[in-house]
Amino acid sequence: MVKKVFPDAGSALEGLAFDGMTVMSGGFGLCGIPENLIIALRDSGVKGITVISNNAGVDGWGLGLLLETKQIKKMVSSYVGENKEFARQFLSGELELEFNPQGTLAERCRAGGAGIAGFYTKTGVGTLVAEGKETKVFNGETYVLETGLVADLSIVKAWKGDEEGNLIFRKTARNFNPMMATAGKKCVAEVEILVPTGELDPDAIHTPGIYVDRIVKGEFEKRIEQRTTRKRENA
């Protein structure tokens, strides 16, 4: 039986990271991001990465760390906001960007994991998103062809996992993680809680361990993307 548990994020990425690779990174904003694996990817020194992710974290955290070190060549994303360095690099021509409507990005990842080469959607028809893409009319409505996405490596974050790589995600941290776990040629997961095989309720598992090649227990900061407060009123 192949041992999937690794002692830390750095060792979990050994032999999987290389220049010019494509990486899927789960999460939405800072919710459910594989923060330990992102730091390990930064520390690996690989360059020219194409990253498929909803957005790029924030300045100084999440995928923003890889933008600061100029390790990312291209982003395939649906959202640029919250990261000034992301916007600056794109506007200055330093960073390639492939924009996707958010639902389309999620479905492209799911399709890649399911072995579906492409699918048609009405989202984006008549906009810049559809430029240069094949369109087809179904029942009098125009649809645009989108391709499935597959990455060399998927890095995901789950709430709980077992030693076989079965994963459970918690609430909104589920977001892009489950479909990205299926769409990587290799998948490394980091979890808050790691339990022995057999302790997870099979009905509660979101991602079966067959999709996960390596797993590591991480320590998490869980930073808040936007904190809005008001002045406390005097009693």
Residue 124 lies in a domain: no
Residue 102 lies in a domain: yes
The CATH number covering residue 179 comes to 3.40.1080.10
Residue 32 lies in a domain: yes
For residue range 46-61, list pLDDT tens digits in order: 999 999 999 888 888 8
For residue range 9-23, list pLDDT tens digits in order: 999 999 999 999 999
Structural domain span for residue 32: 5-115+150-216
Residue 98 lies in a domain: yes
Residue 233 lies in a domain: no
Distances (CA, A) of 156 to 114, 115, 116: 17, 20, 21
Residue 47: its pLDDT value, please? 97
Structure tokens at 23: 């990486």
At position 212, the amino acid (one-letter code) is V
Residue 193 lies in a domain: yes
Give the ranges where the chain is alpha helix by DSSP (H): 9-12, 35-44, 64-68, 84-91, 102-114, 177-182
Question: What is the number of structural domains in the chain?
Answer: 1
For residue range 200-231, list pLDDT tens digits in order: 999 999 999 999 999 999 888 777 777 778 88
Q: What is the mean pLDDT of residues 179-191?
A: 98
For residue range 120-143, list pLDDT tens digits in order: 999 999 999 999 999 999 999 999
Residue 80: its pLDDT value, please? 78
pLDDT at 235 over 70: no
Residue 132 lies in a domain: no
Residue 225 lies in a domain: no
